[in-house]
């Protein structure tokens, strides 16, 4: 029994009177401590699946995380969004401590926890700043601190670096890996950037075009801990070519179908 | 996948639900005897009175006068207001001179100037139309001003890029781009025109729905008064819906953003 | 038409006074001549009348009467409007009742109810406060609902993701997120409350600035009338500034586009 098991998962959207099947009869199992990425063409249903694991969208099938059936959102599956979703009316520390506040923790205690995680992402001196004063990369780091602060069993990440420029993105990937390697939570990471998926993951799932199915489920045999140099290695390039060929097929299929 | 007919009917009936509840509450209260029957006539009596008045042409006469006044002031305000708003947005000198008047004057109730208008223009329609014009002018001018200012520069750059003349750019790019905002102002101004016309008719006149209501109340014929109120409600509702319809035809690319409710 | 001087804040502030000053000067000059209509009064005369009123305290009596009515009605109407508006965003039954009701009733001039309210509640403060509250309810409700409905889904998801209960989501996410829109509604409501107040006072009141204006006009005391009008304008303006200051205190720097708002 895996840490996360999805069986028979499906979701259909109504759009302008037409039905769009995002995913159908989808099965996936994750082991504890794995970093798993999902890559796929646009509109293939990868984000939809992630949202279902998060409990934000409901559909067919069952999803079980740590022996609990997923029926609604909850702090056991922390979510990181592409647009950071920080609360602009709260300071940085207010955002990071938010979950703890919602759960009723006292001020001194939750601030202590928040500060610990803020330090982890290197933003301690911005404790009292407001999100609107920070750059995109910094906001995402605050969002990361926020989601780590309530110590979820599992992390869900929805193209978290998609809104950042390429340089910041690479640095963020390195930071994320470093932080993750410290306590190896289970992560489900959605992206359309193959290099990003390769750099971060133990395992990559390639989605087909809509309705999303598993085209390939690859174990990534790159050494850990991973430094920036790994991107230049031959093995990395091999993997990338392999995945890109598969993805390309699906991207073209998605274009043809739309 | 067509919506089941039952759900569709329910959706159409939804707006009537609160009205039905209120009407029921009113009838209950009116017939219970808790409130004097004169003060709170039953709906039957009110609609009976309404029917009589409609037949006699009285209500239509008064309603027509009110609507004519309101729309005159309103229409004038649209023309002048949009022009002023555009001018303010395009000329920094004009903006510096005039915009503060609009910003500062906005929260000041211009109704306070009504006695002045009466002195200058007499008790009849002109003073009313003038006040309506003034009150409607502010939201229209301000919204037009903000609307034109907020037009994304990229639209203008695209137009310039194609070699379009300034006139063409103005009429075919700037105005359409600012149209949603301009209509926002217009939509705010319409109820204002009605409020002012009714109010000024109540203060002193011998025609119009405002006068009708005021007079009916003073004569203790409350069923007539309520009938008058109901008529105004209908007028206001119809005018607003017409405006929304017009707006959605003209600004077809953007669904009514100024209607924050679920309509 | 661009003049570099206009970028200067002080020049702009000075320019703002040009037109009003022209009006004042024109009035002063016209008032002196014999051919001028009676209602053109010299600003100097208005000022002196105003001063007399201040000294005798009479203006404060009227202003206070008006203010009490306006603010009472405003607070009641705004509290109801904002409260119900926000709650409608999370409660389906509530929204099913109020949403269509407000949508239909919004374009209807509430002042039409004034004579009826006066009959029910008398010529005193109650009818004024009632009509003001009723009028203010609408823009505050509409803006609060609009703001609450427009709250980004991401924020709500984040909050639920972090284990917040529905109640906490409402108070800790929806309410603060809707705040800018709520303030727009509050501002519209404030301006509206003064308009409706003077409307109500002019239809019939004991004491109050609207009543003062009518009395002055009947007595052909135009200087008094202008003085009262000016006072009204001042109160409306000052109230608006107060609200803006409050808004700046609560929202500045936190929301995009909420920088030094004028």
Rounded distance, CA C57 to CA B48, Å?
Answer: 52
Please state the φ and ψ torsions of residue A201, each to the nearest 5 degrees.
-100, 160
Q: Given this model, what pLDDT does residue B257 score?
A: 44
Q: What is the DSSP letter of B172?
A: I
* Angstrom distances, CA of residue A169 to CA of A146, A158, A162, A191, C147: 19, 14, 8, 12, 33
Q: Is the pLDDT of residue C259 over 60?
A: no
What does the pLDDT look like over B10-34, one tens digit per residue? 666 777 888 888 888 888 888 887 7
The share of chain C scoring above pLDDT 70, in percent, equals 93
What does the pLDDT look like over A192-207, one tens digit per residue? 899 999 999 999 999 9
**Among the CATH numbers 3.30.465.10, 1.10.3720.10, 3.90.1210.10, 1.10.540.10, which is that of C42-251?**
1.10.3720.10
Q: Please state the rounded mean pLDDT for residues A36-60.
A: 91
H or E stretch at B43:
helix B43-56
Rounded distance, CA C186 to CA C250, Å?
Answer: 14
Q: Given this model, what pLDDT does residue C3 score?
A: 60
Q: Given this model, what pLDDT does residue B224 score?
A: 87
Which residues of B, range 180-209, sit inside 8 Å of C by Cβ? Answer: 190-191, 194-195, 198-199, 202-203, 209
State pTM to two decimals.
0.83
In angstroms, what is the C-alpha Rg of chain C?
A: 23
The share of chain B scoring above pLDDT 90, in percent, equals 22
What does the pLDDT look like over B32-82, one tens digit per residue? 877 777 777 888 888 888 888 787 888 889 999 999 999 999 999 999 999
* Angstrom distances, CA of residue C193 to CA of A82, B108, B132: 43, 10, 18
Q: How many CB pairs under 8 A join B and C?
A: 184
Among residues A247, A207, A222, A244, which one has the least CA distance to residue A28?
Answer: A207
Q: Is B139 within 8 Å of B147 (Cβ atoms)?
A: no
Q: Tell me the chain B residues in contact with residue C18 when contact means C-beta distances shorter than 8 Å.
A: 97
Distance in Å, alpha carbon of A49 to nearest chain B alpha carbon: 24
Class of the CATH-defined domain A1-76+192-258? alpha beta
Rounded distance, CA C106 to CA C114, Å?
Answer: 16
Rounded distance, CA C226 to CA C8, Å?
Answer: 34
What does the pLDDT look like over C74-130, one tens digit per residue? 999 999 999 999 999 999 999 989 988 898 888 888 888 888 888 888 888 898 999
Q: Given this model, what pLDDT does residue A258 score?
A: 58
Strands A68-69 and A18-30: unpaired
More confident residue, B89 or C36: B89
Q: Please state the rounded mean pLDDT for residues B154-176.
A: 82
Sign of the CA dihedral running A79, A85, A91, A92: positive
Rounded distance, CA A138 to CA A123, Å?
Answer: 8
Q: Answer whether A98 touches C (CB < 8 Å).
A: yes
Rounded distance, CA B164 to CA A218, Å?
Answer: 56
Q: Is the pLDDT of residue C260 over 60?
A: no
Angle at C213 between CA B199 and CA C188, to 5 degrees: 50
Rounded distance, CA B126 to CA B117, Å?
Answer: 9
Instruction: Report the neighbours of C using a cutoff of 3 or more CB pairs below 8 angstroms.
Output: A, B
- How high is the mean pLDDT of chain C? 85
Q: Please state the rounded mean pLDDT for residues B187-204.
A: 88
What does the pLDDT look like over A18-27, one tens digit per residue? 888 889 889 9
Q: Given this model, what pLDDT does residue B262 score?
A: 25
User: Measured between CB atoms, which of A79, A89, A99 is closest to C254?
Assistant: A89
Q: Answer whether B4 touches A (CB < 8 Å).
A: no
Structure tokens of B84? Answer: 């002023």
H or E stretch at A29:
strand A18-30
Give residue for tokens 């004063």: A133
CATH number of the structural domain B43-250: 1.10.3720.10
Which residues of A, range 127-186, sit inside 8 Å of C by Cβ? Answer: 130, 132-133, 146, 150
Task: Tell me whether residues A88 and C152 touch, CB distance under 8 A.
Answer: no
Q: Answer whether B1 touches A (CB < 8 Å).
A: yes
What residues contact residue C10 under an 8 Å CB cut-off, 6+ apart? none
What does the pLDDT look like over A217-234, one tens digit per residue? 999 988 888 888 888 889
H or E stretch at A35:
strand A35-39
Q: What ipTM describes this predicted complex?
A: 0.79
Q: Given this model, what pLDDT does residue B1 score?
A: 45
What does the pLDDT look like over A163-187, one tens digit per residue? 899 999 999 999 999 999 888 899 9
Q: Answer whether A72 touches C (CB < 8 Å).
A: yes
Q: Tell me the chain B residues in contact with residue C19 when contact means C-beta distances shorter than 8 Å.
A: 97-98, 101
Highest mean pLDDT among A74-83, B21-30, B83-92, C69-78: C69-78
The residue of C162, C166, C174 whose CB has the most chain A CBs within 10 angstroms, and thus the best one to mutate to test that interface, is: C162
Give residue for tokens 């209260």: B29
Q: Is the pLDDT of residue A212 over 90?
A: no
Q: Tell me the chain B residues in contact with residue C225 when contact means C-beta distances shorter than 8 Å.
A: 115-116
Q: Given this model, what pLDDT does residue C253 score?
A: 66
Q: Tell me the chain B residues in contact with residue A19 when contact means C-beta distances shorter than 8 Å.
A: 1
The share of chain C scoring above pLDDT 90, in percent, equals 31
């Amino acid at each position: 029994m895996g840490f996360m098991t999805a069986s028979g998962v499906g979701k259909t959207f109504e759009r302008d009177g037409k039905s769009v099947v995002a995913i159908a009869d989808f099965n996936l199992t994750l082991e504890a401590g794995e970093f798993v990425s999902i890559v796929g063409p646009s509109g293939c249903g990868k984000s939809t699946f992630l949202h279902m694991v998060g409990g934000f969208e409901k559909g067919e099938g069952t999803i079980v995380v740590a022996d609990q059936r997923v029926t609604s959102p909850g702090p056991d599956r922390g979510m990181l969004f592409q647009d950071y979703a920080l609360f602009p009316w709260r300071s940085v520390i207010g955002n990071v401590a938010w979950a703890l506040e919602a759960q009723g923790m006292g001020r001194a205690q939750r601030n202590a926890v928040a500060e610990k995680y803020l330090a982890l992402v290197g933003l301690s001196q911005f404790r009292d700043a407001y999100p609107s004063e920070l750059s995109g990369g910094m906001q995402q780091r605050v969002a990361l601190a926020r989601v780590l602060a309530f110590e979820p069993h599992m992390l869900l990440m929805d193209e978290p670096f998609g809104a950042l420029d390429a340089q910041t993105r690479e640095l963020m990937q390195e930071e994320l890996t470093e932080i993750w390697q410290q306590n190896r939570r289970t992560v489900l990471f959605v992206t359309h950037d193959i290099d990003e998926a390769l750099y971060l993951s133990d395992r990559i799932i390639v989605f087909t075009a809509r309705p999303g199915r598993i085209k390939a489920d690859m174990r990534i045999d790159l050494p850990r801990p991973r430094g920036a140099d790994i991107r230049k290695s031959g093995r990395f390039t091999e993997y990338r070519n392999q995945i890109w060929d598969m993805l390309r097929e699906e991207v073209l299929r998605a274009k043809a179908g739309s | 996948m067509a919506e089941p007919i039952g759900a569709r009917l329910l959706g159409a009936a939804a707006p009537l639900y609160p009205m039905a509840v209120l009407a029921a509450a009113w009838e209950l209260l009116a017939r219970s005897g808790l409130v004097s029957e004169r003060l709170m006539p039953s709906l039957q009596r009110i609609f009976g009175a309404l029917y009589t008045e409609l037949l006699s042409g009285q209500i239509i006469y008064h309603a027509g006068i009110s609507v004519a006044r309101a729309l005159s002031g309103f229409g004038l305000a649209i023309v002048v207001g949009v022009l002023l708003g555009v001018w303010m947005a395009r000329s920094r000198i004009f903006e510096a001179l005039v915009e503060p008047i609009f910003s500062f004057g906005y929260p000041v109730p211009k109704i306070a100037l009504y006695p002045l208008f009466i002195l200058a223009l007499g008790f009849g329609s002109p003073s009313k139309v003038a006040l309506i014009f003034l009150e409607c002018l502010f939201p229209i001018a301000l919204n037009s001003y903000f609307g034109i200012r907020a037009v994304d520069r990229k639209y203008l750059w695209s137009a310039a890029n194609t070699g379009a003349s300034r006139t063409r750019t103005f009429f075919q790019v700037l105005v359409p781009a600012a149209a949603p905002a301009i209509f926002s102002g217009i939509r705010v101004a319409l109820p204002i025109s009605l409020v002012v016309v009714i109010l000024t008719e109540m203060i002193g006149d011998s025609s119009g729905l405002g006068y009708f209501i005021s007079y009916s109340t003073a004569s203790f014929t409350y069923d007539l008064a309520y009938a008058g109120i109901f008529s105004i409600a209908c007028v206001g509702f119809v005018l607003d819906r017409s405006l929304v319809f017009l707006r959605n035809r003209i600004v077809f690319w953007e669904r009514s953003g100024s209607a924050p409710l679920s309509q | 038409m661009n003049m570099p001087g206009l970028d200067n804040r002080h020049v702009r502030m000075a320019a703002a006074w040009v037109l009003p000053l022209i009006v004042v000067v024109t009035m002063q000059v016209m008032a002196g001549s014999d051919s001028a209509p009676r209602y053109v009064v010299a600003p100097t005369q208005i000022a002196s009348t105003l001063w007399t009123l201040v000294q005798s305290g009479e203006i404060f009596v009227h202003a206070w009467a008006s203010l009490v009515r306006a603010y009472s009605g405003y607070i009641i109407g705004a509290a109801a409007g904002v409260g119900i508006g926000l709650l409608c965003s999370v409660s389906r039954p509530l929204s099913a009742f109020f949403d269509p009701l407000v949508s239909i009733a919004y374009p209807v001039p509430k002042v039409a109810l004034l004579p009826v309210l006066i009959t029910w509640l008398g010529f005193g403060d109650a009818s004024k406060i009632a009509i003001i509250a009723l009028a203010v309810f609408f823009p505050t409700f509409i803006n609060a609902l609009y703001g609450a409905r427009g709250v980004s889904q991401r924020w709500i998801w984040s909050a639920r993701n972090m284990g917040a209960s529905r109640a906490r989501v409402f108070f800790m996410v929806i309410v603060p997120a809707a705040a800018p829109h709520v303030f727009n509604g509050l501002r519209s409501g404030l301006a509206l409350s003064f308009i409706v107040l003077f409307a109500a006072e002019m239809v019939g009141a004991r004491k109050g600035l609207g009543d003062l204006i009518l009395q002055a006009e009947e007595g052909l005391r135009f200087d008094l009338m202008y003085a009262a009008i000016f006072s009204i304008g001042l109160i409306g303006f000052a109230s608006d500034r107060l609200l803006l200051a409050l808004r700046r205190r609560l929202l500045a720097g936190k929301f995009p586009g909420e920088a030094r708002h004028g």
